[in-house]
Amino acid sequence: MKRVFSGIQPTGEIHIGNYLGAIRNWAKIGDQIGKEAIFCIVDYHAITIPHDASSLPRLTFEAALANMAAGLDPNKITLFAQSHVREHVELGWVFTTQTPLGDLERMTQFKDKSEQHSILSGLLMYPVLQAADILLYKADTVPVGEDQVQHIELTREIARRFNYRFASPEAPIFPEPKASIDTGAARVPGLDGAGKMSKSKNNTIGVLEPKDTIWQNIRVAPTDPQRIRRTDPGNPEVCVMFAYHKLFSNSDTVQMVDTECRRAGIGCVDCKKLLMENIWQTLEPIQAKAEYLREHPSEVTDALVSGADFCRTIAQDTMQEVRQAIGLLPLDSRRP
Ligand code: TYM
């Protein structure tokens, strides 16, 4: 791992799927490689579905704040907003011109989102901009949840195609980055038990959500549908609460819940109360940090400014190479 890049959309509240599937690993990687761990709030991606211009600046700030509260320390790692480094869009355009339409139309995320929203061309081009994000920094590793793996595969394809067309095999311009997945939390399920936790599905536990709202949502969340009465034995394998215990509780608790649920030794309400306490143990310090950052907003904005400064230098070097490789006339070509 020499350089790592990953991103998150500022489209709403950051949830425990984002935290466990991605941000928590980003913080660990930062401990190993410092500034070369680059994390981005991808605001240009957020406008590929209809958005409210008046709330986007706040959402971008909030996303940065939540990431910092959840463990990203801008004194160690690099954190920035995508639109502050314009080269993302420039490389995105170059890759757009080189990417077959069919590659984009078969992306699962595009198919899902185009059912929910009117199709803007930006939604189709979304993975091309994502490839530009990663390749602009020649990152070798991309820590993400499982839902992003297809996009990273396409990124590899885009890098390979670009190298083949515009560079020599001995001196490729772009590396082929690898996705890195936390197998324990690659696909955190939603509270409704109907698939992965996702902002668009309204089935989230927000990292910065108040304790009582989290509890209200957990309290009414479905468990094993076969377990109707308190005395019915349950099957933890089909219960989202058990999946969450595996993510938040220690192994003794997980073992106890597993055994006691199966023999109706513990009821769903008690199981949920125990879970709530363990979730809160993780979220409480994050929320305390978020509160501190809200009182010191310049710590967030300063981090974004210096993050963008660091990234711009790398991005400009890459773009110079790319412009030359694809045959653009240098701006200073009239000078001797
Ligand atoms: P986004 O904003 O949807 O999610 C941010 C990260 O959280 C992960 N994630 C999950 N992991 C486990 N379980 C879940 N339920 C869950 N939900 C979300 C995502 O996999 C992701 O790692 N396209 C990206 C943003 C992006 C990007 C990039 C990522 C733009 N450019 C370059 C990596 C590299 C996205 O929409 O993430």
Q: What is the DSSP string of 165-176?
A: HHSBTTB-SS--
Q: Is the CB of 201 under 6 A from ligand 1?
A: no
Q: Atom of ligand 1 at shortest distance to CA of 144?
A: 22
CA 212 and chain centroid, separation: 26
Dist CA 35 CA 72 (whole Å)? 11
Helix (H, G, I), strand (E, B) or coil at 206: strand
- 97: its two tokens: 């011109």
Query: Where are the domain boundaries for CATH 3.40.50.620 in the chain?
Result: 4-187+297-326
Helix (H) or strand (E) holding 78, with range, is strand 78-81
Quote the pLDDT of residue 257. 98
Which residue's CA is the nearest one to ligand 1's atom 27? Answer: 7
* Cα-trace Rg, the chain: 22
Distance 263 CA to ligand 1 centre (A): 38
Dihedral class, residue 113 (left if φ above 0, else alpha if ψ from -120 to 50, else beta) = alpha
CA 188 and chain centroid, separation: 12
Distance 6 CA to ligand 1 centre (A): 8
Q: Is the CB of 8 under 6 A from ligand 1?
A: yes
Helix (H, G, I), strand (E, B) or coil at 196: strand
CATH number of 209-292: 1.10.240.10
Going by C-alpha positions, the residue among 313, 289, 298, 317 that lies closest to residue 35 is 313
Q: Is the CB of 148 under 6 A from ligand 1?
A: yes
Query: Where are the domain boundaries for CATH 1.10.240.10 in the chain?
Result: 209-292
Quote the pLDDT of residue 336. 63
Dihedral class, residue 78 (left if φ above 0, else alpha if ψ from -120 to 50, else beta) = beta
CATH number of 4-187+297-326: 3.40.50.620
**Helices (H), ranges, 220-326:** 240-248, 251-262, 268-295, 297-326
Beta bridge partners, 164, equal none
Q: Is the CB of 143 under 6 A from ligand 1?
A: no
**Helices (H), ranges, 117-207:** 121-136, 149-166
Quote the pLDDT of residue 16. 98
Q: Atom of ligand 1 at shortest distance to CA of 190?
A: 15
Q: Is the CB of 204 under 6 A from ligand 1?
A: no
Question: pLDDT in tens for each of the 336 residues of the chain?
Answer: 899 999 999 998 999 999 999 999 999 999 999 999 999 999 999 999 999 999 999 999 999 999 999 999 999 999 999 999 999 999 999 999 999 999 999 999 999 888 888 888 999 999 999 999 999 999 999 999 999 999 999 999 999 999 999 999 999 999 999 999 999 999 999 999 989 999 889 999 999 999 999 999 999 999 999 999 999 999 999 999 999 999 999 999 999 999 999 999 999 999 999 999 999 999 999 999 999 999 999 999 999 999 999 999 999 999 999 999 999 999 877 766
Q: Are 13 and 150 in contact (CB under 8 A)?
A: no
Quote the pLDDT of residue 331. 84
Quote the pLDDT of residue 251. 97
Q: Is the CB of 66 under 6 A from ligand 1?
A: no
Going by C-alpha positions, the residue among 1, 326, 311, 313 that lies closest to residue 163 is 326
State which of 5, 15, 18 you would mutate to test the pocket of ligand 1, scoring each by most atoms of that ligand within 8 A of its C-beta. Answer: 18
Global pTM reads 0.96
Helix (H, G, I), strand (E, B) or coil at 6: strand
Which residue's CA is the nearest one to ligand 1's atom 31? Answer: 130
